[in-house]
Amino acid sequence: MRTLRYLGLLLWVAYFAPALYAQKIAVLADHVYTMGSEAQGRPGMVLMSSGKIESVAFGAELQAPVGYQVLRGAYATPGLIDVDTTAGISGAYNIPQDQDQDEATDPNTADVRSLDSFNPNEILLKYVNRYGVTTIQSAPGPRNPIAGRAGIFKTVGPDSAPATADQLAIRSESAMIFNLGDVPKSTYKADHKPPMTRMKTAEIIRHALWEAKAYQEKWEKWKKDGAETSKQPSRDPRLEALLPVVNGALPAIFTVHRADDIVTAIRIGSEFHLKYMLASVTEGYLVREAIRQAGVPCLVGPIMQRPESPETANATYEIAALLQQAGIPIALMTGYEGYVPKNRILLFEAGIAAANGLGLEKALRAVTMDAAQILGIQDRAGSLAAGKDADVALFDGDPFEYTSHVLGVIVSGQVSYLRK
């Protein structure tokens, strides 16, 4: 019995020790990119405790206080934020058992949530963490016109303590995903079910949004008429999920490639006065004036997506720079991949954007501060500043150089990955 109790203690320590250890961490780097308003790239030190950033100091000869685990490197940045990815719900093995990103049984699955598919033990989640990604908006896949709700999660790394999806969630419902273009119209084609055309995809979305408005009016009328239980309208989970979208409380994200699909998204967004953004935006540079006038943020990427399908043939490595230069708020995303590689790596995507017109600092912003602002989580993530979550990535060189290495990653004050 006593042996068992010792074993229990041992297991308890093994399980929780990583979480208790290193509550206080000091990161020292030759180039600290806080992404705040101060000068970037200076030598400095970031102190963290209890999951939050305590302070950021600048100077070449700084000493870490006693009691802090010290990590040193050449470049320190905020943990990277992937604003739209299927990591966590679309597994690496790519077998039916680990593919939970597309509920392709009905073109409208507004009621589903990525939270309910999110697997914190998914190896791709740990893999992207090794490349500095600490926060992701995990979103349903590309197949349904109305695909369901995304959530914003912290990532776990190879050295992280186990966690549940609920513990990792910053926001369990962060956006409603809509998909336009070639993919949704081919999803049900074999079954001779709609949508078979872009017209129908748009109609399915508009119809659902009108229904959501009517649903709301019905409930408001019922409340106004005395809210009698016997007369209560029947509940509809899909329309309820769409209510915050038509009310502007939940952002809508339209995944779009072709220029005409981008304009269709803007048409729907303005018709229903949605709070919305565009994702992928492959041909966005061809209609950037329309995007800028609509005031829509763009989740751009993946930058290295294949220009092999007709709707992505005009993909350009310069897309992020072209949109940014047009005055459009941008952040970078990795989206969904159906084959090899199963997941794009945000750090690599940002590197290609940096090398193709965006430059190091703006590319970093697009995966940190600007990403946090677009997602509305800038109070917690996206910059190195006192009071923010202690999410840090540390590199041995320019973060975007092919031959640099990630030395360490810290999520919420815990070391999730250390380069061996």
Partner 1 sequence: MFELSGILPRLAFPEGRMYWRPIIPIPLAALLSTVLLVILPRTVGQEATTQGMVVVRGAMIYPISGPPIAHGILVVANGKIVAVGEEGKVSMPAGATILDAHGKVLMPGIVDSHSHIGIAPNPLVADSDDDNEMTGPIEPGLRAMDAIDPGDPNIRMATAGGVTTANILPGSGNVMGGQSAYVKLRGKTVEQMVIPGSIGGMKMANGTNPKNYGTRKQAPMTRMEEAALARAIYEKAQQYKEKWDVYNKAVAAGDKTAKAPDRDHDIEPVVEILEGKRIVHNHTHRADDIMTVLRLSDEFHYRVVVHHGSEACQVADELAKRHVPVSYTMVDSPGGKLETINIDIHCPAILEKAGVKVAFNTDDPITPSRLLLRQAALGVRGGMSEEAALKGLTIYPAEMLDLGNRVGTLEIGKDADFIILSGPPFSVYTHVLETWIEGQKVFDRSNPQDLHYSTGGFSVASRYPSLQAGGN
Tell me which residues touch partner 1 (CB under 8 A): 91-95, 123-124, 127-128, 259, 285-289, 304, 306-310, 313-319, 322, 326, 337, 339-345, 348, 351-352, 354-356, 400-405
Residues near 165 by beta carbon (within 8 Å), at least 6 away in sequence: 88, 115, 118, 119, 120, 153
Q: Using N-to-C axis directions, what is the helix angle for 198-224 and 259-271, rounded to 10°?
A: 10
- Based on CB atoms, which residue is closest to partner 1, 247 or 404? 404
Among the listed residues 261, 327, 322, the one whose alpha carbon sits nearest the alpha carbon of residue 292: 327
- Based on CB atoms, which residue is closest to partner 1, 32 or 358? 358
- Smallest distance, Å, CB 311 to partner 1? 9
Six-digit token pair at 70?
Answer: 């010290």
- Based on CB atoms, which residue is closest to partner 1, 26 or 266? 266
- Smallest distance, Å, CB 172 to partner 1? 26
- Based on CB atoms, which residue is closest to partner 1, 148 or 301? 301
Alpha-carbon Rg of the chain, whole angstroms?
23
- Based on CB atoms, which residue is closest to partner 1, 294 or 352? 352
- Based on CB atoms, which residue is closest to partner 1, 36 or 341? 341
- Based on CB atoms, which residue is closest to partner 1, 164 or 403? 403
- Based on CB atoms, which residue is closest to partner 1, 78 or 284? 284
Instruction: Tell me the C-alpha distance between 294 and 223, whole Å.
Output: 35
Residue pair 234/207 in contact (Cβ under 8 Å)? The answer is no
Instruction: Tell me the C-alpha distance between 63 and 205, whole Å.
Output: 57
Name the 3-class secondary structure at 121. Answer: coil
- Smallest distance, Å, CB 88 to partner 1? 13
Name the 3-class secondary structure at 139. Answer: coil
- Smallest distance, Å, CB 219 to partner 1? 44
- Smallest distance, Å, CB 204 to partner 1? 24
Neighbours of 385 (CB within 10 A): 18
- Based on CB atoms, which residue is closest to partner 1, 215 or 417? 417
Instruction: Tell me the C-alpha distance between 100 and 141, whole Å.
Output: 9
Strand order in the sheet with 414-418: 52-58, 42-49, 24-32, 69-78, 392-395, 406-411, 414-418
- Smallest distance, Å, CB 287 to partner 1? 7
Among the listed residues 223, 224, 217, the one whose alpha carbon sits nearest the alpha carbon of residue 247: 217
Among the listed residues 198, 171, 207, 190, the one whose alpha carbon sits nearest the alpha carbon of residue 81: 171
Q: In terms of C-beta density within 10 A (0-12 exposed, 13-18 middle, 19 or more buried), how is residue 340 classed?
A: exposed
- Smallest distance, Å, CB 43 to partner 1? 23
Instruction: Tell me the C-alpha distance between 234 and 212, whole Å.
Output: 13
- Smallest distance, Å, CB 354 to partner 1? 7
Residues near 3 by beta carbon (within 8 Å), at least 6 away in sequence: none
- Smallest distance, Å, CB 318 to partner 1? 5
- Smallest distance, Å, CB 252 to partner 1? 25
